[in-house]
Structures are given as C-alpha cells and as structure tokens.
A and B are shown apart, each in its own frame.
Chain A
Amino acid sequence: MAETRRSIENAGNRVTTGNQETGQQWKAVPAPSIPEHERPPRLDLRSSLAVRVARLATSMSRRLGLGSGGMIGGRIAMALQPRLLAQLATGRSIVMVTGTNGKTTTTQMIAEALRSNAATVTNATGANMLDGHATALISQLDAPFAALEVDELHLAQATEQLQPAVIVLLNLSRDQLDRVGEIRTVQASLRRALQQAPQTHVIANRDDPNIVAAAVDHPSVTWVSGGVRWKEDAQNCPRCGVFLSDLEDDWKCSCGLHRPPADWIVTPTGVIDPYGVSHELPLRLPGHVNRVNATFALAAALHLGCEGEAALRRIRTLEQASGRYSTIRLDGRQVRLLLAKNPASWLEMLDLVAHNGKPLVLVVNSREADGYDVSWLWDIDFSVLRDRHVLVTGDRALDLAIRLRYEEVPCQVAPSVEEALRLLPAGEPDVIANYTAFRDLFAGRDQK
C-alpha cells in the first residue's frame, strides 16, 4: 500500500488498529457529543397507533404494487400524529444529506458506514421529504442511527423537526430551474436551515462557493475538498456577485467570503484525512465523484464515532445506489445505467463514458420531476462524443438530437430505449438517463 503512515500517539482519540486487509489506519475525529443510543424513542399512545397504521399502509402499498412504499406510511402517520417526527427523532443520531447531486449515493454510503457501528435506517427509495423521513424512521424504531436524504428546499423544515446530529452539504448547481428556482434562493434557504441548528455538526464542500456561503457562518463545520468540475454556477460570489478568479484554487472575494481550509482532501486515488494521513479509497462505484461522496460519508461516520476502516469496508461494498451505476438487463440485454439530471451530473457521467468506446444511449424526459425546460442541454459539452454514434430517446429526444447536431455528434432518434438497444451494435451499452427516464428503466429491468 502506497499511502503514508503516521504513528498515532494521542491516546485521547479513538484509534483503530491497522487493518489486515488494507493496512490503513484511521483516527476518529473527536465527536463532541454522541447521544445515548440505548433508549428507543418513547412514543405516546397516539404515536404508537400512527406507527402501526403507517406500517400497515407501507406493506399494503408494496404488496399491491402501488409503489415502493417510501412515502405513504409516513404521510398517514404524520396526519394521525403531527408531532410524530420529533418523537421518532428523539434519542437517535440523524445524518441529513442535501445538495444538488450525489444525495442518494452519499446517503447510502453513510447508512452503510454507520451500520459498521449500529443499526441504521435510511430513506433509500429517494423519498426525500418529511413523509419519506417518517417512513424511514418508523421502519425500525430501535435503530440508533438514521441516514436521511433531504430535498434541498426541505432542509429547514426537516432540521426543525428532526434535530440532526450531522448535516452534509454536497454541492449546489442549476437543476430544475422551473421547479426549484435559482441557486441563490436555494443557497439562502440552506443558510437559514443551518442558522436554526447551531448544535448540529456540518460537513460541507469547501470548493463550492454556494455551499461555503450557506455554511461558513455555522459554528461547527468540517470542510471537504473534492475540486469543482462544473463551474458555471460558481463563477461569481454568491453573496455579492463579484467575479471569482482562481475558482480551482484559494478563491477569495472582496466581500470577505473565501475558500476555507480543507479538513479532508480527495485525491486522484483516495483521500487525505484531517490529520494529514493518506488513505486509499478503492471503491466499486466509478469516478472521482464517488470518491468525493465516500469522503463525505467517512467524515460523517467518524464524527459519529465509527471506526474508519470498518466504515470504509462497508462503503466499499456498495455496487450501486438505487440503480445508479448498476448493471441491469433490459429486454434481455445487459446495460450499465447512469443517472444524469442536470449539467453538473451530465458532465460527471460523460467523463465516465467519454473514452470507453461502448455503445451509448442518451435518454431525456421532461416530466414534473425532471423540470419541463430542457434548455440546460446546451450547458453540457457533448463534444467528447463526436467520434461516437449515439442513440437518443425519451420525451425530449428531438431537443437532444438538435443539440447534438450543433455539436457535430452523429446521432439517431429512437422511439424507445428498447428500440434504441436493438439498433446498437454488440457490446454492453451505457445508458445515461435523466431522472424519470432512469427511474422507469430501473423499475422496468428484467427480473432474474
């Protein structure tokens, strides 16, 4: 193993022993306060009833094939007992994850990491508003940990109800402008959420000026540095609008906002921890973007008292996150499924497929959950696909085809993904799809 080692002499910190498998050593970042996990939340009569009804509704919803059951139980329970969420949260350590991209994957990494220590519930179905949180918390009342993905605009509400131990702020970039609104609005709402939660520890991306603007005034922040791939939403100071030069480096605005020093630094193969110790991150999930996600997960797990090596071993087992990066069979053909729903995530996914020469299908829908406007297709640099023949499909295949033609990318419109697959040469295609397209493909995969 190439990583540097450092003797660890400080007996005051929890220290794992060197791991047999990777030989890596980790120090835990001292956790300021870890609540007792022995007590399951105490529920009053009304709440207990609400929980029982909710569980029934969730299992009915699944059995009848109405949905994944991620929301319905929570929705019913909260209608029966409005104070339920606060009661469900009592005595638990909750990690909330928000940001534009990487929420689902990072939440699942955190859930895995926390399971190295104790039982953990999570809203793995992506139901990332309060009803989804209630459903997750109800699913196992005595689980001491919860890893919850939170919609960017619902962080304030969720924080108020659930009093999380940790909030993870990944990144902010343009996404569904006709639903979510512009980034400064989202940033301001995150900032308000953090103001309400001075006791919560924040783990935030120091390379994203929008995240820094939201988190910098909080009293307790761990800063993660993973670089900034998509820059178009970060070129001007989120506070005052002045142009930020050196976005790749130590950017500093005349208003005082500047890039804070990093606690964790993601490298081309791994990560450097707050003590300056390098660790490898041999993940199954591909790309730099997942090393960044894993670093957030490690930082959160260590803050809550997990051991680094045990947490990493768990994170490494993830092969897919709710279908993201998974290899599935569609109509009998094996494909890799990638989610890209806005310019920043398209950039990351195009990086993954750029030079692999595999057959490629791009799918773009524009339903409510995607946003109805697809002008953002023009923010994406598709020129890496110029020597490829690309199949395009989805509700907005025509917009996508026009976009590709102006970039001189050879393309062909197909009426459906299945039809596109039939038109492709042999090999295992990559399918990059935006939100509802991805969701439908994953749900419609061939069951073995």
Chain B
Amino acid sequence: MTTEAVRIALLLPDLLGTYGDRGNVQVLAQRMKWRGIPSETITVLSSADSVPESCDLYVLGGGEDVAQIAAVRFLSRGPGLKRAAQRGVPILAICGGLQILGTKFTTGDGAEHSGLELVDAVTEPGSKRAIGEVSTQCTLGDVGMLTGFENHLGRTRLGGSTQPLGRVLRGIGNGVAEAEGAVAGHVVCTYMHGPVLARNPKLADLLLEWAIGEPLEPLPELPELPALRKERTRQPLRQRK
C-alpha cells in the first residue's frame, strides 16, 4: 500500500463550483481518511499558473457559460491535465466540466468553443433546460445504478471510443441515445450533481482505486445511504408546492 498521501486536485472551484460539486472532493478525501490512508487536497484556483501534473486524481465541477470559457482558457495554458489523462490518472468532470473536456461546445449565446478533447463529446444547447432527478445504469465495473440531479441546457453527442457513463433510466442525461455522461479511459464525465460521489460511493471508490492503482477495502455503508438512493430513484411523487 502506498504510504505517500494521495493527491486530489480540485480544479477551478472559483469558476466551476456553482453546484456543490466540490463535495466530490470531500467525499473522496473522507473515504480515504476512514480507511486510514492519508490524502491531500490541492485546490487549483484560476489565479494559479497552470494545472499541476503530479496529482493522483483530478475533479472538475460545473459552472456558468462565462466561467466555462475562462476555465478552458486556463486548462489549455499548460499540458498538466492532458498529460495526466494520458498517464491514466483518473479525472472526474461534472456538467460544465463534461462539456469543456469534450471536443467542442456551443454556449447559450450561440458561440462555438473548442474543448480540451479528453473525451469525444460535442455539446450544443437544447430547446429547454434539463432539470430534475436523473438515474442511470452505470457502464463501469460493478458500480450499478447511479443517481444524481441534473440541471443543464446542453445536449451532448458522443463519438469515437468515448462511451456513456450510464444508460438513462430516468431523466434526460446527455439527451442523445439514452446516454448519460462520458467515459474515455479513466476520464469520467457526468451531468450528475448531488454531488454524484456522495450519492454513489461505489463510483468514488472506483476512482480512488484507479488513483492508487490497487483495490481498496470496502467501507461499511453509511446508515442513511440505502434509503437515500431508494428515495431519489423511485418514480416521483406529485411535487408538493
């Protein structure tokens, strides 16, 4: 087992931190702490020079159009993230993060922007925002069902060797071919907030195993988790005002 602290990078929470996605990093770090494995969280703000190359796991959240464009500008500044992806270091990107790691995305104002090309995904605005609970059957390992909350205008088409992260059971997802999210190598993208790793700890542990390169001891499940997952994935009751 590795003795050095696992380095988890939270990328650009000042730009891509609108939807509570920083929680994913708290989940990752705490799950290591519960196992007695030290971890270190490295917060990379847009005031930094570039993305450090040496981290073991990278996490990106979602943000607004202006912030997404600024984020692409920042992430393109150095080779850090691209090299990490090439080395097989896991990267988790949520919502706007998914869009900017793709090949290109069109913002609400109609302008087209190049992405970082870590996944083969093209995003265009849909006719209306997809807002609500979303659940999918995950395509990875034994992760099983994924649950999250989506809130996005973009519709994302996958190509090449990029696979969806899940098949939509409920909600909109990418809005194309019942796919939700994108996976290419160890780059995992999803529209799910919640945050996604809080509701789906199996996905959190899979990313951590990729990060340290060995299997992890399972943790006892948090007492409220089964009920929470059940509550969030059942058919919606009529919403009360």
Q: Assess the A372–B227 pair: CB atoms within 8 A.
A: no
Asked if A405 contacts B224 (CB within 8 A), the reply is yes
User: Is residue B19 within 8 Å, beta carbon to beta carbon, of the partner chain?
Assistant: yes
Asked if A286 CB lies within 8 Å of chain B CBs, one says no
Within 8 A of B (CB), among A146-179: 174, 177-178
Q: Are A398 and B19 in contact (CB under 8 A)?
A: no
Are A406 and B47 neighbours in the complex by a CB distance under 8 Å?
no
User: Does A86 touch B at the CB level, under 8 Å?
Assistant: no
Tell me which residues from 344 to 394 in chain A have a Cβ below 8 Å from any Cβ of chain B: 367-369, 372-373, 375-379
Report which residue of A178, A232, A242, A406 has the largest number of chain B beta carbons within 10 angstroms of its beta carbon: A406
Contact of A379 among B15, B22, B46 (CB under 8 A): B22
Chain A interface, number of residues (Cβ within 8 angstroms): 34
B240 in contact (CB, < 8 A): yes
Q: Which residue of A lies closest to B129 (CB)?
A: A178
A242, A369, A372: which contacts B132 (Cβ < 8 A)? A372
The answer to whether B20 touches A402, judged by C-beta atoms less than 8 angstroms apart, is no
Please indicate the chain B residues that have their CB under 8 angstroms from the CB of A232 in the complex: 13-14, 17
Instruction: Annotate B197-232 by CB proximity to A: 1 below 8 A, 0 otherwise.
Output: 011000000000000000000000011110110010
A329 at the interface (CB under 8 A from B): no
Residue ID in chain A nearest B94 by CB atoms: A375
Residue A375 contacts which of B131, B132, B194, B228 (CB distance < 8 angstroms)?
A: B194
Chain B residues touching A, range: 35 or more
* Residue A416 CB within 8 A of the other chain: no
CA–CA, A160 to B14, complex, Å?
35
What's the Cα separation between A241 and B74 when bound, in Å? 11
How far apart are B94's CB and chain A's nearest CB, in angstroms?
10
A242–B69 CA distance with the chains assembled, in angstroms? 11
Among B15, B132, B224: residue with most chain A CB under 10 A? B224
Q: Are A379 and B20 in contact (CB under 8 A)?
A: yes
Residue contact B66 to A184, C-beta cutoff 8 Å: yes
A144 → chain B closest CB, angstroms? 36
Q: How far is the CB of A394 from chain B (nearest CB, A)?
A: 12
Is A182 an interface position by the 8 A CB rule? Answer: yes
Q: Which of A233, A372, A405 contacts B222 (CB 8 A)?
A: A405
Q: Which residues of B sit under 8 angstroms from A184, Cβ to Cβ?
A: 64, 66
Report the separation of the CA atoms of residues A235 and B71 in the bound assembly, to the nearest whole angstrom.
Answer: 14
**Contacts A236-B14, A236-B46 hold; do A406 and B30 have CB atoms under 8 A apart?**
yes
Cβ-defined partner of A235 (8 Å) among B14, B198, B224, B227: B14
Contact between B66 and A241 (Cβ–Cβ < 8 Å)? yes
A243 contacts B by Cβ under 8 Å: yes
Most buried by B among A184, A373, A413: A373
Given contact pairs A243-B47, A375-B19, A368 touches B193 in the complex (Cβ within 8 A) = no
Q: In the complex, what residues of B have CB within 8 A of residue A399's CB?
A: 198, 228
Residues in A whose Cβ lies below 8 Å from that of B23: 375, 377-379, 403, 406
| A373 lies within 8 A of B151 (CB) | yes
Evaluate contact between A375 and B66: CB separation under 8 angstroms. no
Give every chain B residue within 8 A of A271 (Cβ-Cβ): none
Max chain A C-beta neighbours (<10 A), residue from B133, B149, B227: B149
Residues of B within 8 A of A183 (CB): 64
Residue of A nearest to B196 (CB): A375
A402 with B149: CB separation less than 8 A:
no
Complex Cα distance, B225 from A413, in Å, reads 12
Confirm or deny: A22 has a beta carbon within 8 angstroms of a beta carbon on chain B.
Answer: no
From known contacts A241-B15, A241-B67, A379-B20, infer whether A403 and B47 are also in contact, taking CB-CB under 8 Å: no
* Interchain CB contact under 8 A, B14 and A369: no
Q: Are B227 and A398 in contact, CB atoms less than 8 angstroms apart?
A: yes
A246 to B: closest C-beta gap in Å: 11
A413 and B224 contact, CB distance less than 8 A: yes
Residues of B within 8 A of A88 (CB): none
Chain B 1-43: CB-based contact to A (< 8 A → 1; otherwise 0): 0000000000001110111111100110010000000000000
Residue A339 CB within 8 A of the other chain: no
Q: Does B239 contact A (CB under 8 A)?
A: yes
On whether the beta carbons of B241 and A369 are closer than 8 Å, the reply is yes
B15 touches A236 (CB 8 A): yes
A177 to B151, CA, bound (A): 8
Complex formed: what's the CA distance from A294 to B94 in Å? 40
A376 touches B20 (CB 8 A): yes
Interface flag for B70 (CB, 8 Å): yes
Contact with B along A274-305 (1 / 0, CB 8 A): 00000000000000000000000000000000
Asked, given contacts A373-B193, A378-B22, A406-B27, whether A245 binds B47 with beta carbons under 8 Å apart, the answer is: yes
Is B116 on the interface with A (CB-CB < 8 A)? no
Q: Are A236 and B67 in contact (CB under 8 A)?
A: yes
Q: Which of chain A's residues have a CB closer than 8 A to the CB of B67?
A: 236, 241
Query: Which of B20, B64, B198, B239 has most A Cβ within 10 Å?
Result: B20
- A174, A233, A375, A376, most chain B CB atoms within 10 A: A375
Expressed in whole angstroms, the minimum distance between the Cβ of B37 and any Cβ of chain A is 16
- Closest chain B CB from A346 CB (angstroms): 12
Interface residues of A in 400-431 (CB under 8 A from B): 401-403, 405-408, 413
A402 and B222 contact, Cβ closer than 8 Å, known pairs A241-B70, A375-B195: yes
Cα distance, A379 to B26, chains bound together (Å)? 10
The residue in B46, B133, B198 that gathers the most chain A C-beta atoms within 10 A of its C-beta is: B198
Contacts of B15 in A (CB 8 A): 236, 241
19 pairs across A/B with beta carbons < 8 Å?
A: A177-B19, A232-B14, A241-B66, A241-B69, A243-B14, A243-B46, A367-B241, A368-B240, A368-B241, A372-B149, A373-B193, A378-B23, A379-B20, A379-B22, A398-B224, A399-B198, A401-B224, A402-B224, A406-B27
Q: Which 4 A-B pairs have the closest CB atoms?
A: A378-B23, A375-B20, A398-B228, A241-B70
Question: 16 more A-B contacts (CB under 8 A) besides A243-B14, A378-B21?
Answer: A178-B131, A232-B13, A241-B69, A241-B70, A242-B70, A367-B240, A369-B241, A373-B151, A373-B193, A375-B19, A375-B20, A375-B193, A378-B198, A401-B222, A403-B198, A406-B27
